[in-house]
Structure 1
Amino acid sequence: MVDADQTFVIVGGGLAGAKAAETLRSEGFTGRVILIGEERDHPYERPPLSKGYLSGKEERDSVYVHEPAWYAQADIELHLGQPVTALDRAARTVRLGDGTTIRYDKLLLATGAEPRRLDIPGSGLAGVHHLRVLSHADRLQGVLSALGRDNGHLVIAGAGWIGLEVAAAARGYGAEVTVVEPAPTPLHQVVGPELGQLFTDLHSEHGVRFLFGTRLTEIVGQDGMVLAARTEDGEEQPAHAVLAAIGAVPRTALAETAGLALVDRAHGGGVAVDAALRTSDPDIHAAGDVAAAHHPLLGMRLRVEHWANALNGGPAAARAMLGQDVSYDRIPYFFSDQYDLGLEYSGWAPPGSYDQVVLRGDVAKRQFIAFWLKDRRVLAGMNVNVWDVTAPIQDLVRAGAAGTTVDTDALGDPSVPLPSVLPAP
């Protein structure tokens, strides 16, 4: 057990950082725990920012990880609204924006990611938005509501998860929505062309217009306000607001200047960590969106930008900081809600990694499970409006990673219980 006089510092006031702090206390650590967050808000969860809170179905206070009073009760020292400007590994200190220097015995980097910016003329106009932090959601909620009242137009650059969830929220307010996407279908890098059309149809039925195979080249404005968005073919789309939903990049500047090992951006970027979420410095760990971890089960390095990774990765890193034997092998998982469609996705199957897609259920009614396979091994599964199947889907993914093949006919047959698809041990 660690010394009670030790100080553990967590840089990053998001879900990963907050859950790490909670875990340190629940595991019996009695030293100082210092949590540093760049935002002024207490640590919160990000999914509501594009789902329940943005759509107006959930209250703002519902996003917080803990009640504000919990941190004092747990003896967690909070430094909110304070960026960390420097990390000195030799002295084992971090310096805050106000010049304060804090020494650490163990350090956790949970600095997250930041949205990619549109690098086109007009991207600095007041009506161009991003969605990453709570203040973005606060502002965007008001924008969507106003667009709905005034029959205004929202143009979204990007048909990924954020783009589609905001499109659904915007239509809920009554705003007109056009989504511009260079790929041939939505979510092309996640669900591939086989299921992309499902999301095209879903949103089209709710009045969303898609422009595929093109991208924004200019945002036209006047007096600082957005008037239109121009695409590669020279067409102008009416727009009163634009959302840039073109992905995120890990916030690695602090780690980079400190000389920690990083992963090349061509391979996803992030701070390189081992299965114990330990960086190239044994006294520094990383978790959440910024961490590119070697996955012991899948046998590859992954950087996963989803809620479940922060929820589980923060506690795993905390236990490793305490000297426990940790091998972080959680199956990547995320969920999405769009109109009356809810889904959960487990696994890792980017385009090119699989050779077969097996569908189980009624795709026309949007009640089914999709499986991505390679050589009859399950790489990933997505349940759409079918619930309580995450555990058996993840069992199939784990078995596939271990080399177990499945009967694809049984996999696609709803009358065969999912646990029965795996061969008997």
Structure 2
Amino acid sequence: MSPDEPGIVVVGASLAGLRGAEALRRGGYAGPLTLVGDEPHAPYDRPPLSKHVLAGELRPDATALPHLADLDATWRLGQPAVGLDRSARVLRLADGVELRYEKLLIATGAQARPWPVTDGSGPLPSGIHTLRSRDDAAALRIALAAGPKRVLIVGGGLIGCEAASCCRDLGLAVTLADPNPTPLARILGSLIGSVIVSCMNTAGVDFRPGTHVEAFEADASGRVCRARLKDGAAIETDCVIVALGATRDTSWLAEAGLNADAGGLTCDSACRALDSEGRPAPGLYAAGDVARCPSPFYGGRLVAFEHWGNAVAQAGHAARNMLANDDDQRAYRHLPSFWSSQFGINIKGVGLADGADAVAVVQGSRASRRFLAVYGREGRAIAAISFDQARWLPAYAERIEAGAAFPPILGATDQSIKDFGAPDFPEPRSR
């Protein structure tokens, strides 16, 4: 096959895109391979951005991902995809280049959800940051090194909590405003999230639960100087981190006739992209944050995982199916997992806790901030979370995959189920 013939194109040059391309080569694909990325940088690791890069322990350009296979690929970096013609099998890039493809792996990931700007409100003041990309981290590191008087973090998810922890390690005054009663309330519930509140209080973070930021005000130089709250109060700040989650990078697929929106690109169990009629689109696969696939562990519920391990595993699985015959398309089975380091604690989780109707602390205690908790729904274990207590986590993951009863392990070493109750998740967001 000559370089001018259509081969496989991977759209998205981050973790899932790189590992997917490597899996294609390891799987025996020897044809033309092209990787397209919207950023000018070679694939890099994102988890260090909110930790080591912000702390100044690691340069932003020192986060490059290792290459685990000889790709022999064409790289088109700094040129985002802007359109897809499925009938002609052509991918259009921002610079006007059109790439023909035989098969396409969509791994465009997600983007930080920006602060909503209403019509007529004018541009945002300077000093307002998001944290998703390498460039975001580099700009925010410069801002933090300048010693702002107070950092305001809007949003209490994983990125917001990790950023708050890092800022306190740097000796900066930090306020975290969260509309929920505790940080991580939407993924862990407020019962477990209350432990993060305790950690923040000890670290000196000014945590503001139930707080809604409505707008930002600028000083005479155009820099942010305060945030106005829904209740009429204000928070003085000269550096803001907007940590409102992420939206999937699917806008370039708007005219492609696929089932795609800000929540992801819907796929079948084999990671094949589905069209607007729910049928697999010929030659199109997806992996990583952008892929919204049915989970066999949660009744076929469509989920898009924003976690490192899933990006690697799903990219490899999609690559395998891309090289297989139509009658050999295997279903993707992956129990989601995540980890986070904040306030001196290593948090690890498996499964999806949201939707649980019960939670039990089965080892340790919330008061000690060292424990393992299991979540259940309708009598079945669906997730587990550990705070500096991960020894038994793999065993619980196995039980969750098997659909075991809640709690799935009884009589384990050092087990003492004394803390049992409702997880207390916030009401779902209105759409």
Among candidates 351, 363, 368, match of residue 366 of structure 2: 363
- Give, in whole Å, the separation in 2 of the partners of 1:387 and 1:62: 29
What code does the residue aligned with 2:315 have?
A: G
How far the C-alpha of 1:122 sits from its partner, in A, is: 7.3
Change in CA separation of 1:46 and 1:168 when aligned onto 2, cut-off 3 Å = same
- Give, in whole Å, the separation in 2 of the partners of 1:414 and 1:373: 21
Among candidates 210, 221, 224, match of residue 222 of structure 2: 224
Residues 31-50 of structure 1 mapped to structure 2, 5 A cutoff: 31-50=31-50
Change in CA separation of 1:388 and 1:224 when aligned onto 2, cut-off 3 Å = same
Aligned 8 A contact 2:60 2:137 in 1: no
- Give, in whole Å, the separation in 1 of the partners of 2:224 and 2:64: 33
What do the CA deviations read for 1:245-276 (whole angstroms, capped 9, x no partner)?
A: 0111111112232111236x6xxx21110111
Higher helix proportion? 1
Structure 1: stretches of 5+ with no match in the other structure: 418-425
The equivalent of 1:80 in structure 2 is 77
Greater CA drift, 26-35 or 382-391:
382-391
Query: Match of 1:201, SS?
Result: helix
What code does the residue aligned with 2:405 have?
A: T
What code does the residue aligned with 1:334 have?
A: F
The equivalent of 1:272 in structure 2 is 266
How far the C-alpha of 1:85 sits from its partner, in A, is: 1.6
- Give, in whole Å, the separation in 1 of the partners of 2:8 and 2:144: 41
The equivalent of 1:336 in structure 2 is 340
The equivalent of 1:415 in structure 2 is 414
What code does the residue aligned with 1:341 have?
A: I
Aligned 8 A contact 2:376 2:407 in 1: no
Residues 294-313 of structure 1 mapped to structure 2, 5 A cutoff: 294-299=294-299, 300-313=301-314
What do the CA deviations read for 1:297-343 (whole angstroms, capped 9, x no partner)?
A: 32211111122221211111111111153321110111100021001
TM-score by length of 1: 0.89
The equivalent of 2:250 in structure 1 is 252
The equivalent of 1:162 in structure 2 is 159
The equivalent of 2:421 in structure 1 is none
- Give, in whole Å, the separation in 2 of the partners of 1:81 and 1:236: 39
What code does the residue aligned with 1:50 have?
A: S
Query: Match of 1:393, SS?
Result: helix
TM-score by length of 2: 0.87
How far the C-alpha of 1:74 sits from its partner, in A, is: 2.4
- Give, in whole Å, the separation in 1 of the partners of 2:344 and 2:361: 23
Aligned 8 A contact 1:108 1:287 in 2: yes
The equivalent of 1:319 in structure 2 is 320
Aligned 8 A contact 2:359 2:373 in 1: no
The equivalent of 1:405 in structure 2 is 405
Aligned 8 A contact 1:358 1:408 in 2: no
- Give, in whole Å, the separation in 1 of the partners of 2:169 and 2:410: 39
Greater CA drift, 137-146 or 113-122:
113-122
Structure 2: stretches of 5+ with no match in the other structure: 275-280, 417-431
How far the C-alpha of 1:358 sits from its partner, in A, is: 3.4
Aligned 8 A contact 1:122 1:219 in 2: no
- Give, in whole Å, the separation in 2 of the partners of 1:106 and 1:249: 25
The equivalent of 1:421 in structure 2 is none
Residues 78-157 of structure 1 mapped to structure 2, 5 A cutoff: 78-119=75-116, 124-147=124-147, 152-157=149-154
- Give, in whole Å, the separation in 1 of the partners of 2:210 and 2:49: 28
What do the CA deviations read for 1:359-418 (whole angstroms, capped 9, x no partner)?
A: 321332222111101233211001111234442121021122xxx31556826x54369x
The equivalent of 2:278 in structure 1 is none
